[in-house]
Structure 1
Amino acid sequence: MSTDASSLSPSITSMIRLDHMHVLAASHRYHASTPWWRKRAIVNGVCDALEIHAQLEEEIFYPALDRALDSDETLKKSRPEHDQMRATIAKLRAMGPENAAYDGLFFQLIREVAHHVADEETVLLPDAERMLKNELQPLGAAMTRRRMQLLGERPMDIAVNAAGTFPIATLLLGSTILLAIRHCLPRSRRAGRGRS
C-alpha cells in the first residue's frame, strides 16, 4: 500500500477501539430471555469478532508495541488473556443455547473481555499513541488488509450471524433491496410476468 493510501487509513488504535465497542454493543443484545436462535447468532458473531480481533492484535499490534516498549506487564498478560478467551469460546461453541450453562458462560466471556478491554484502553492504546505516533496509520492499513483476508475465510457465517443478531434490520434491508430490484426491472418484464 502506498504511503498516501496508508495516510487515509484509520489508526490502529482507533480500529481496536471500534472493535471493542462493536463486541460490547453486540453483547448487550443478549439476554437470558432472548430466543435460542438469536442467542446462537449473537454468541457466534461475538466469538468470530473476538477471534479475528485477537489474531489481528497478536500479528500486528502487539509486535509493534513490543518493539516500542521495553517490558510492559499489561502487554505480557494480554496474550494469556487471549488464550483464556479462546478457551471460553471453544466451550461455548461446543454447547448450544439449550444448555443451562450457556448464558453464564457467555456472560463470563464478556466479563473477561471487558477486563481485557479496560487494560488495553487505559494502558496499551495510550502507550501506543505516544510511542508509535508515526506508525499508527500504516499499522491500521496493515490491520485492514489482514482483516479482509480473515473475513474472507468465513463470509457466510458472518452474514448469517449478523442477520440473526439484527433480524428486524435485516428484514427491512432485504425488503428494501427487493423493492428496489422490482422497481428497477423494466415494466414490460413485470407486465409479462403478470400475464402468465
Structure 2
Amino acid sequence: MPDTYSSMSPTITAMIRLDHMHVLSAFHRYHADTAWWRKRAIVNSVCAALEIHAQLEEEIFYPALAEVVNDNPTLSKSRPEHDEMRATIAKLRATGPEDAAYDALFHKLMSEVMHHVADEETMLLPTAERTLKNELRSLGARMTRRRLQLLGERPRDIAVNTAGTFPIATFLLGALVVIGATHCLPKTRRMRYAD
C-alpha cells in the first residue's frame, strides 16, 4: 500500500513549486488600498503557508538533498533565509493592518520569499531532480502526510483566513451550499414519508 501511495504521489519538487505559486499568487491579492480585514486574512494565510512550507522543507527536502550533494551554497543558505522570513512574520504578527509599517513589512516578506524561491527553483529543485530522481515521489508522499498533520493543527485559522482572502468566492460557495441543502431537504423528507 505505501508503494502504491508513493507511486501516485506528486514529486516533492512539484509540490514545492506549487507551494511557491500559491504564495506568490497570494502576494498579488494584497494591495495598499485593500480593506484592513482582508489584508489581515491575506497576510495570515501567507504566513501560515510559509511556516508550513519551511518546516516541510527543513524536515524532509533539505536533509534528503544534503545526503546526495556536498557543500551546496544554495542549500547552506536556505535555512537562514527561512529564519529571516520567520523574523519578518513575527514582526507582521506583532503589528496590525492599521499600522503604517504593515504594508512595508509585507513587501519585505514578499522580497525575501521571491529571492528564496528564485534560488530554489533555479538551483535546488533541478539538482534534486537529477540526484534524487528515484526518490522524488516517495519524498512527495512523505511531504503530503506531514503537511496534513501540520494543517490539522490549525484548521480554524486556515478556514477563517481563506474566507477572508477570498470573500466573494466564500460567499458564493456558502450560498450554493445553502441553496443545495434547502433544495435537497424537502426531497429527502418526501422520500421518508413515502416509505
Above 0.5 in TM-score?
yes
Structure 1 partner of 2:55: 55
Structure 1 partner of 2:98: 98
Structure 2 partner of 1:194: none
Deviations 1:142-189 (A, max 9, x none): 000000000000000000000000000000000000101111102596
Secondary structure, aligned partner of 1:52: helix
Structure 1 partner of 2:21: 21
Q: Distance in 1 between matches of 2:153 and 2:4?
A: 28
1:87 is aligned to 2:87: yes
Give the % identical residues. 73
Q: Distance in 1 between matches of 2:39 and 2:177?
A: 26
1:34, distance to aligned residue in structure 2 (A) = 0.2
CA distance 1:105–1:3, shift in 2 (3 Å): same
Q: Distance in 1 between matches of 2:22 and 2:4?
A: 28
Q: Distance in 1 between matches of 2:171 and 2:98?
A: 25
Structure 2 partner of 1:65: 65
Secondary structure, aligned partner of 1:186: helix
Structure 2 partner of 1:177: 177
What amino acid is aligned across from residue 161 of structure 1 in structure 2? N
What amino acid is aligned across from residue 52 of structure 1 in structure 2? I
Structure 2 partner of 1:134: 134
1:150 is aligned to 2:112: no
Structure 2 partner of 1:40: 40
Q: Distance in 2 between matches of 1:2 and 1:54?
A: 25
What amino acid is aligned across from residue 22 of structure 1 in structure 2? H
Structure 2 partner of 1:193: none
Question: Once superposed, what is the RMSD of the aligned Cα atoms?
Answer: 1.2
CA distance 1:172–1:74, shift in 2 (3 Å): same
Q: Runs of 5+ in structure 2 lacking a partner?
A: 191-195
1:70, distance to aligned residue in structure 2 (A) = 1.1
Q: Distance in 2 between matches of 1:130 and 1:188?
A: 56
1:119 is aligned to 2:119: yes
What amino acid is aligned across from residue 82 of structure 1 in structure 2? H
Secondary structure, aligned partner of 2:71: coil
Secondary structure, aligned partner of 2:99: coil
Secondary structure, aligned partner of 2:96: coil
Structure 2 partner of 1:5: 5
Structure 1 partner of 2:193: none
Runs in 1 of length 4+ with deviation above 4 angstroms?
Answer: 187-190
CA distance 1:176–1:188, shift in 2 (3 Å): closer
